[in-house]
Structure 1
Amino acid sequence: MTLLEAHNLPFAGAAILLVFIALAQVIGMGDIFEGADADIDLDVDYELADPTAASGFGAALLSVFGIGRVPFLIWLSVLLFAFTVIGWFGQQTLVSAVGAPLPAWLAAIAAGAAALPVTGMLTRPLARLLPQDETSAVGLDSLVRRDAEIQMGSATAGSPARSKVIDRHGHPHFVMVEPNDPEATLEQGETVMLVRREGETFFGVQYENPMLSL
Structure 2
Amino acid sequence: MSALGALPLVRQAGSLVARYVPQTESSAVSEIDFIGLPAQIVTGEASVGTPAEARLLDRYGQPHYVRVEPDRAGQSFVRGTTVAIVSHVSGSLYRAVIIGHSDLL
The reply to whether TM is greater than 0.5 is yes
Once the 2 structures are TM-superposed, how far is the Cα of residue 142 of structure 1 from its aligned partner? 0.3
Once the 2 structures are TM-superposed, how far is the Cα of residue 153 of structure 1 from its aligned partner? 1.3
Give the secondary structure class of the aligned counterpart of 1:197: strand
Instruction: Please tell me the residue identity of whatever aligns with 2:62.
Output: H
RMSD over aligned Cα atoms: 2.0
Rounded Cα–Cα distance in structure 1 between residues aligned with 2:65 and 2:35: 13
Higher relative CO (Cα under 8 Å, sequence separation at least 6) belongs to: 2
Q: 1:185 to 1:172 in 2, by over 3 A?
A: same
Q: 1:130 to 1:180 in 2, by over 3 A?
A: farther
Which one has the bigger strand percentage?
A: 2
Rounded Cα–Cα distance in structure 2 between residues aligned with 1:176 and 1:204: 10
Once the 2 structures are TM-superposed, how far is the Cα of residue 130 of structure 1 from its aligned partner? 7.1
Q: 1:145 to 1:130 in 2, by over 3 A?
A: farther
Question: Structure 1 residue aligned with 2:30, among 118, 124, 139?
Answer: 139
Structure 1 residue runs without a partner (length 5+)? 1-128, 210-214
Question: Structure 2 residue aligned with 1:183, among 69, 74, 77?
Answer: 74
Give the secondary structure class of the aligned counterpart of 1:158: coil
TM-score (norm 1): 0.35
Alignment of 1:28-43 (within 5 A): none
Structure 2 residue runs without a partner (length 5+)? 1-20
Question: Structure 1 residue 160 and structure 2 residue 56: aligned?
Answer: no
Instruction: Please tell me the residue identity of whatever aligns with 1:175.
Output: V
Once the 2 structures are TM-superposed, how far is the Cα of residue 182 of structure 1 from its aligned partner? 1.6
Instruction: Please tell me the residue identity of whatever aligns with 1:131.
Output: Q
**Structure 1 segments of 4+ aligned residues over 2 angstroms from their partners:** 129-132
Rounded Cα–Cα distance in structure 1 between residues aligned with 2:57 and 2:48: 23
Deviations 1:76-106 (A, max 9, x none): xxxxxxxxxxxxxxxxxxxxxxxxxxxxxxx
Which one has the bigger helix percentage?
A: 1
Q: Which residue of 1 aligns with 2:42?
A: 151
Q: Percent identity?
A: 31
Rounded Cα–Cα distance in structure 1 between residues aligned with 2:48 and 2:27: 32
Rounded Cα–Cα distance in structure 2 between residues aligned with 1:141 and 1:194: 10
Q: 1:136 to 1:148 in 2, by over 3 A?
A: same
Once the 2 structures are TM-superposed, how far is the Cα of residue 183 of structure 1 from its aligned partner? 1.3
The number of aligned residues is: 80
Question: Structure 2 residue aligned with 1:192, among 66, 83, 93?
Answer: 83
